[in-house]
Structure 1
Amino acid sequence: MTPFRAARAHHHAMGRLPLLCVFALGPALALPALAAGSLSLTPLGADGAPAVTVVDGNPLRLRAALDQPAPRTLSITFGLDDGRTLATCTVPRAARGCTTAPLSTLDWFWSGAGDAQPQRRLWAEAGGERAAASLAVTPRPVVLVHGFMSDHGTWAAYTAADGFLSRAGLHGWAVGDGQAEGSLDTGALSRLRSATKTLPENATALQRYIAGVKRRTGAQLVDVVAHSMGGLVARYYVARLMGGRDVAQLVMLGSPHGGSDCSALATTLGVLGPAALELRPSYVRDIFNRGITRRHGVPFHLLAGDAIAEGFRAPCSDVPSDSVVSVASASAIPGDVMRLPVLHTDMTASAEVFHRRVLPLLRRGATQAADDAEAFMGDDAPAAQFAQVASGHVEAGSRVEVEVQLDDVAVAAFALFDPSRELEITVRGASGRTIALTAREHGLVKVDDPASLLTLGYGFANPRPGPWRVTLFAPRQATDYALSARVAGGAVLRAEASPASAARGQAVQLGAELRHPAHTLQAVAMYALVRQPDGSTLTLEMQGEGERRGVAWRATQPGLHGVDIVARARAGDLPLERHAFLAVEVRP
């Protein structure tokens, strides 16, 4: 080889050397896995301190730490023992750890199958190394909210030492039980004429109680289970008073989201206000539901009782119903609805309701998404029709007779509210014959629980038109009473107040229309009885032509007013009467 060729060959070999060196050194640059035991995992509580226990739903942060500075940027993955990945964080090169953003522990206490898991294992993984940590999890507190004319005792089946909740490994907090500050006042038989708290005032009491439960347990989220009017109280709390979400989910049993027509008994008697007025369908529909619309992410679950399907067996509500709240009312707002054949007063003691509805939701459901706004889902169907609602007083040892004029109706159902629960009742039909009431033929029911809004009910299918007479006898003690006759068929009375919420001194237009599907009505007359917050009443004659009447009224007292519209007319040879019940809120 000539010197020139040798030098050229040497040059080419040197030119190729750097590339050859790169390939030769490539495997030497592979980064080693972390040394065994070099990674650790620590759960951190809200205060930043290491946590060994957490209440289901409370936020938690996870910290991964290395025993040596990271040789490179590392990505840490965190997970739970059920295989779910929770979060990631990044350790910069030369750093010794990283911490996640706050994580929700909602539903960590329960497995996907609904089994309690009081101990959970967390893991962190990076660079082929895995670390684990144990965490004790306690369930969310369950706050129980009672309804109208009730107290915390209605939840005894839930809160007893061997009750529904304890057998499921849960603890119940019934508002008013003294475990935390705050109690509702929704009325009681022992103080019929004392003013109750309003829905906003009761919601404020619930706010205090939930705050006390959170302080005592360290929980940041609670589950709320409410019965009847308690559902309206809880809805107000969620919409107006909840400062940051602290209700994981709201379960409502027989709550009257469209109101309860049975409230007419108490309001006609002038007792248990303003709570009884707040149960009027017109109040719930036209005032409450229009203002209480926010859910702030809280899922709503609704239970509707449909134990009563025949109209004559429902003393004061449309059917199907639980005897006090119709299915249409219990499901009148958007939500997850279940129907069960249970009566209103049995809901808080029913093992079926607990095991089929409440417990499955406590074990899941809190993470479900919820629409933030709700809308009343009522339709244009008329309110329940009443041929009579009468009230009065019976002296001890005396009798009082109430005459109810029935026209050509398909159903007549009667309800009695008797605070003494001792009145003896005798019924004579339009034929003048005394009727022996039975449960089978007339749906006769006697109710001991005052939360039902009535103490006795019965009814008739296709009753004979004419005057029906109900005699009330007080054998031992004097008592007040209210008697209603709900009808289906025949004349229909529609009434409205505009506006339903008015400023003090503002004109409110009261209007009503009475129609009959088969007759042109004659001798139509109407008046409005206004029940003011101080207990006084105003009677306003309604003027107009044909089947429609109206009157303007200016309120001088702030507060909630009950407005009873009474219409009388003749349909052919039959006299008829209908009552409608409105509520008007007067702002100061």
Structure 2
Amino acid sequence: MFRIEATMKNFLMIITLLFTTVGATFAQTAPSVHVVGRDGTEKTKITDGDEIRLRAVLPALAGETTQVDFFIEGLETPLTTCAVSAGADACLSEPVPTLGWFWLPGHHLSATVRGQPLPGGLLLEIAPRPVVMVHGFLSNWETWQAYLGSGGYLAELGLSGFAVGDGQAPGVLNTGSPTNPAGKTNSIAQNALILDGYIRAVQQQTGAEQVDLLVHSMGGMITRYYLDRVMTTDVVAQVIFLGTPQSGSACVYPLASLGFLLPASIEIQPSYMDGVFNQQVTHRRGTPFHLVAGTRLIEPITSPCTQVPSDMVVDVNSATSIPLDSAQTIALVHGDLTTNRAVFDSAVKALLQAGPQNFLPHADPAAPALASGAEQFSRTFSGHINAGETREIILPIEPNVSLANFSLYDSSRSLQIEVRGASGNLITLDPQKNGLLLVNDPATMIYLGYGFAQPKPGAWTVKLISGDNTPAAGADFGLNARYTGGATLEAQTSPTIPAIGQAVTISAKLTADGQAITSTSSEARLRKPDGSSETLTLTNTDGLFSTTYTPATSGLYALELAVTAQTSAGYTINRAAYLSFEAQPGAQENQSNRNKLLFGLAGLAVLLFLFISLRWFRKKKTS
């Protein structure tokens, strides 16, 4: 009896083991489609943009090499393929981009073998990419409030929004504050590092591998630097620029002349963007670039410091000066691009909902050619007006000037203005005739602008008057004019990206539009990376002003070069060029930095040795 029971138990164990083995075999060879994440584990849920591989399991061992095609609902062409080797029953594809998958009509993955469906597809759960927003010059995260929160634009699409500086993740950009114009800003490079940390924190919170970047104004310059110099893996799906001055904005000249908001007020200048930034920052790692530009100003007389069409501080030519995947315009001023509902509805919304066909590989463009034919400006007249004071400024206008536009920066936004033409008569400024603009937005670089068509040649007088609202401490101001027609000043620095110790040639030549010049003079003020200034003397050789300067330290240098001329007819010509160059660390400076680092480490080692020795001595003494 005992033997029979033992035999029955052994028989049942064999049967159980057999069925278990057969069941496991069927489970392993059941046809199926799997998603494998970047970490090598299988996934049933991903975020749009995550990198995955697709794995197919055949119902039986392949007798020969067999190709498997993978599909997702909503796309007719295969996502990718893999090949099952003879004698195997599974294969794994190369990495597959999933950008735009969230917006497909369905998320069912399937596979075919020799054109026949493979049983066992997979319904993949996909979350949308988060959107990270980057503010611009003289701004902060609050400019994005229309997009944030449960009632924001992004929530309508089921998207999560993060604005750098909002506290949802660590990191605050410093692009300047309107209430502290004398304060320093971060450089573009420093802000790009902060952006990097913020994006990493958003990735950690959401689990997303990629994000969309929605950027305004200087935030686009920070983003481009981040893509080129900071980003180590592909974490940005696309960039949507709102009013970014890809070739800079001349509206910053009056503010920069005061030495305010450095270095950002230099980095936003056309000479820096065209001659330095755009020559170096060209890598975008295949990221699509889209743009929305404001075109509120379309008449030249209404635009104090830019060409038209313009959003008041950034013209369309600057916004579209780099290769873009798409560009749209809307009749808004610069500050409204982040808040206006029409921008979201007509442009941003569709870009955020873009499908896979919008994320094809992109090659990095070549560095653009240096711009020629710079716009013509007067020197900037800057200073301080105490409460109760007035200041008169003389701006000469020579013959053949067809349009003169004036722009005023006023730190208090309280100064009043009187204008007298060359005849000495007081002119009442009119919004229609003179394009008078009074800007109350403190984040805008200009406070007041106006223009004159066919101005009478001669000396024009602008009187700045402190008003009842002028603070007791007074107001800082900067005033200049932009000329169309008349004389032309051509100026340059060469090279624009020198090494430490490499001489930079500075040259300028004034062409007086056919007028005979009896005398000329020049003045040049160089602002160094530490914020200090130096006056340079230029030599006049047959009307060509030139000098050389050798930078001793790395960093950004800005030069305001003004040339004044007298014509034989008795008119004064005044033109100014706003130039910049960026000295790169040379081998000598790098070696010096390495020596300093080694010296510092050696000092720490000595201190550590003394500390340990002292502890040992005290311990030995007490014992």
Q: TM-score range by the shorter chain?
A: 0.7 to 0.9
Contact 1:278/1:284 (<8 A) preserved: yes
Contact 2:239/2:289 (<8 A) preserved: yes
1:221 and 2:218 are equivalent in the alignment: no
Q: 1:507 to 1:100 in 2, by over 3 A?
A: closer
User: Partner letter of residue 345 of structure 2?
Assistant: H
> How many Å separate the matches in 2 of 1:377 and 1:82?
42
After TM superposition, which residue ranges in structure 1, 4 or more long, deviate above 6 angstroms? none
Counterpart in 2 of 1:490? 486
Q: CA deviation at 1:96?
A: 4.6
1:522 and 2:518 are equivalent in the alignment: yes
Equivalent residue in structure 1 for 2:575, among 574, 578, 585: 578
- CA deviations 1:390-435 (Å, max 9, x no partner) are 1111111222222211222111111111121111222222222222
Counterpart in 2 of 1:48? 40
Moved more, 258-267 or 554-563: 554-563
Q: CA deviation at 1:557?
A: 4.6
Q: 1:330 to 1:378 in 2, by over 3 A?
A: farther
1:329 and 2:318 are equivalent in the alignment: yes
Equivalent residue in structure 1 for 2:328, among 330, 338, 343: 338
After TM superposition, the structure 1 = structure 2 runs for residues 181-260 of structure 1, keeping only pairs within 5 Å, are: 181-260=170-249
User: Partner letter of residue 288 of structure 1?
Assistant: F
1:396 and 2:383 are equivalent in the alignment: no
Query: How many residue pairs were aligned?
Result: 546
Moved more, 532-541 or 490-499: 532-541
1:103 and 2:101 are equivalent in the alignment: no
1:421 and 2:413 are equivalent in the alignment: yes
Moved more, 334-343 or 211-220: 334-343
User: Partner letter of residue 394 of structure 1?
Assistant: I
- CA deviations 1:302-336 (Å, max 9, x no partner) are 33333322222111112222211122211111113
Partner SS for 2:276:
helix
After TM superposition, the structure 1 = structure 2 runs for residues 82-101 of structure 1, keeping only pairs within 5 Å, are: 82-84=74-76, 85-92=78-85, 95-101=88-94
Q: 1:83 to 1:398 in 2, by over 3 A?
A: closer
Q: Provide the TM-score with structure 1 as the length reference.
A: 0.87
Counterpart in 2 of 1:120? 107
User: Partner letter of residue 350 of structure 2?
Assistant: P
Partner SS for 1:159:
coil
> How many Å separate the matches in 1 of 2:433 and 2:370?
32
Counterpart in 2 of 1:536? 532
Percent of aligned pairs with the same residue?
39
Q: CA deviation at 1:375?
A: 2.6
User: Partner letter of residue 385 of structure 1?
Assistant: Q
Q: CA deviation at 1:41?
A: 2.9
Contact 1:405/1:468 (<8 A) preserved: yes
Equivalent residue in structure 2 for 1:560, among 552, 556, 563: 556
User: Partner letter of residue 242 of structure 1?
Assistant: M
> How many Å separate the matches in 2 of 1:206 and 1:147?
12
> How many Å separate the matches in 1 of 2:317 and 2:236?
26
Query: Structure 1: 5+ residue runs without aligned partners?
Result: 1-33, 112-116
Q: Provide the TM-score with structure 2 as the length reference.
A: 0.83
User: Partner letter of residue 572 of structure 2?
Assistant: P
> How many Å separate the matches in 2 of 1:555 and 1:135?
58
Partner SS for 1:189:
coil
Counterpart in 2 of 1:31? none
- CA deviations 1:169-216 (Å, max 9, x no partner) are 222211111222222211112222222111111111111111111111
Contact 1:57/1:107 (<8 A) preserved: yes
> How many Å separate the matches in 2 of 1:369 and 1:124?
24
Q: CA deviation at 1:505?
A: 4.0
Q: CA deviation at 1:105?
A: 1.1
> How many Å separate the matches in 1 of 2:554 and 2:53?
51
Query: Structure 2: 5+ residue runs without aligned partners?
Result: 1-25, 586-623
Contact 2:275/2:370 (<8 A) preserved: no
Equivalent residue in structure 2 for 1:507, among 493, 503, 510: 503
> How many Å separate the matches in 2 of 1:71 and 1:535?
72
> How many Å separate the matches in 2 of 1:296 and 1:433?
59
Counterpart in 2 of 1:288? 277
- CA deviations 1:271-327 (Å, max 9, x no partner) are 000110011111111111111121221122233333322222111112222211122
Contact 1:300/1:370 (<8 A) preserved: no
Equivalent residue in structure 1 for 2:56, among 64, 67, 70: 64
User: Partner letter of residue 93 of structure 2?
Assistant: T
- CA deviations 1:200-252 (Å, max 9, x no partner) are 11111111111111111111111112111111111111111111221111221
Partner SS for 1:412:
strand
Q: CA deviation at 1:128?
A: 5.7
